Amino acid sequence: MVIGYLQNSPHFGQKIENFAQIQLLAKGINANLLVLPELFATGYAFTSREEAADLAEISGGETTAFLSKLSAETGAVIVAGFAEKDGNQVFNSSIMIYGDSVIGIYRKIHLFNKEKIWFDPGNKPLEVHQINGMKIGMMICFDWLFPEVMRTLTLKGAQIIAHPANLVMPYCQSAMITRCLENRVFAVTANRIGRDIRGEDDFTFTGQSQITAFNGNILSSGHASKADSSTTDIDVHQADNKMINPFNDLINDRRENFYF
Ligand code: ACM
């Protein structure tokens, strides 16, 4: 299976320009799974909940249409972050798309910083989607700091974690080594680059998108400050074997009666 990321530099509110950036990065790529950053089309630093709501879309909106086209052109299942509107609610979501089909939507459950002003917290269970020979779970950015998320997706059968991100702290890329190692799953962290200076906020995003293997090996590491893309070929079934030696199975060895 060929899995990868597209790392762009969204300009706030400029969806058409941001689609064009992604289109350019995807040129010539054929893959089974491609992951795009969190909020790749809108940018990150909203100044109010109203502004987030104005840029948010329902599933089936123009961002969904763009991603369907991207899926058709690359042959890939696409996972990408978007601002999702559902009635009066606004979520920081990721969508999984294959061709014209929406395979699933995940609504970020651990909101970071002022996201608590801009968005509603996710209200749907963590899910794993089986598609084209892969079992894929989604999480978004700050979810990395809550090990329960990847553990839950692993217990639900995920082989690959698709992880759109807008990282501003320097720790996630290293932490993903442990997250993947402790769950024996693959992960694709698709981070953005660039800077959002809006209202009182000034965020610089750290790039270095990363494909991490089930054994903690880093299979690909993106540029820290330039747009980038990368794919790598993996044997997804390596994530099905949780044995690290003849005696230790990382899932079956858990001692649940000792944990909260
Ligand atoms: C983040 O969750 N976007 C830091």
pLDDT of residue 181: 98
Residue whose CA lies nearest to ligand 1 atom number 2 = 142
In the residue annotation, 182 being an active-site residue is answered as no
* Ligand 1 binding pocket includes 141 (Cβ within 6 Å): yes
**What are the structure tokens assigned to 223, written together?**
């540029």
Task: Work out the average pLDDT over 185-203.
Answer: 97
Catalytic residue chosen out of the listed positions 108, 115, 172, 180: 108
Do the bridges between strand 210-212 and strand 186-190 make them parallel or antiparallel, or are there none, so unpaired?
A: antiparallel
State pLDDT tens for residues 182-191.
999 999 999 9
Which of 105, 68, 104, 67 shows the shortest CA–CA distance to 85? 105
For ligand 1, what atom is nearest to the CA of residue 112?
2
Per-residue pLDDT band for 192 (boundaries 50, 70, 90) equals very high
In the residue annotation, 50 being an active-site residue is answered as no
State pLDDT tens for residues 53-72.
999 999 889 999 999 999 99
Which of 52, 56, 43, 35 shows the shortest CA–CA distance to 9? 43
**Domain spanning 2-258, CATH architecture:** 4-Layer Sandwich (3.60)
For ligand 1, what atom is nearest to the CA of residue 167?
4
Do the bridges between strand 134-138 and strand 160-164 make them parallel or antiparallel, or are there none, so unpaired?
A: parallel
In the residue annotation, 156 being an active-site residue is answered as no
**What are the structure tokens assigned to 230, written together?**
């990368």
**What are the structure tokens assigned to 86, written together?**
């559902």
For ligand 1, what atom is nearest to the CA of residue 141?
2
Catalytic residue chosen out of the listed positions 15, 84, 85, 141: 141
pLDDT of residue 173: 97
Average pLDDT of the chain to the nearest whole number? 98
State pLDDT tens for residues 24-49.
999 999 999 999 999 999 999 999 99
Per-residue pLDDT band for 98 (boundaries 50, 70, 90) equals very high
Per-residue pLDDT band for 252 (boundaries 50, 70, 90) equals very high
State pLDDT tens for residues 103-144.
999 999 999 999 999 999 999 999 999 999 999 999 999 999
pLDDT of residue 106: 98
pTM for the model: 0.98
Residue whose CA lies nearest to ligand 1 atom number 3 = 166
Q: Please list, in sequence order, all residues whose beta carbon lies within 8 angstroms of the beta carbon of residue 224, skipping any fewer than 6 positions away.
A: 193, 206, 207, 208
Q: Please compute, for residue 147, the number of CA atoms within 13 A of its CA located in the half-sphere on the CB side.
A: 8
State pLDDT tens for residues 162-181.
999 999 999 999 999 999 99
pLDDT of residue 94: 98
Exposure string (b/e) for 44-65, b if CB count within 10 Å is 16 or more? bbbeeeebbbebbbeeebebbe
* Ligand 1 binding pocket includes 38 (Cβ within 6 Å): yes
Q: Which residues pair with 89 in a beta bridge?
A: 86
User: Are 93 and 85 contacting, i.e. CB atoms less than 8 angstroms apart?
Assistant: no
* Ligand 1 binding pocket includes 203 (Cβ within 6 Å): no
Measured CA angle at 84 (ends 82, 88), to 5 deg:
160
> Which DSSP string corresponds to 227-243?
-EEEEEE--GGGGG--E
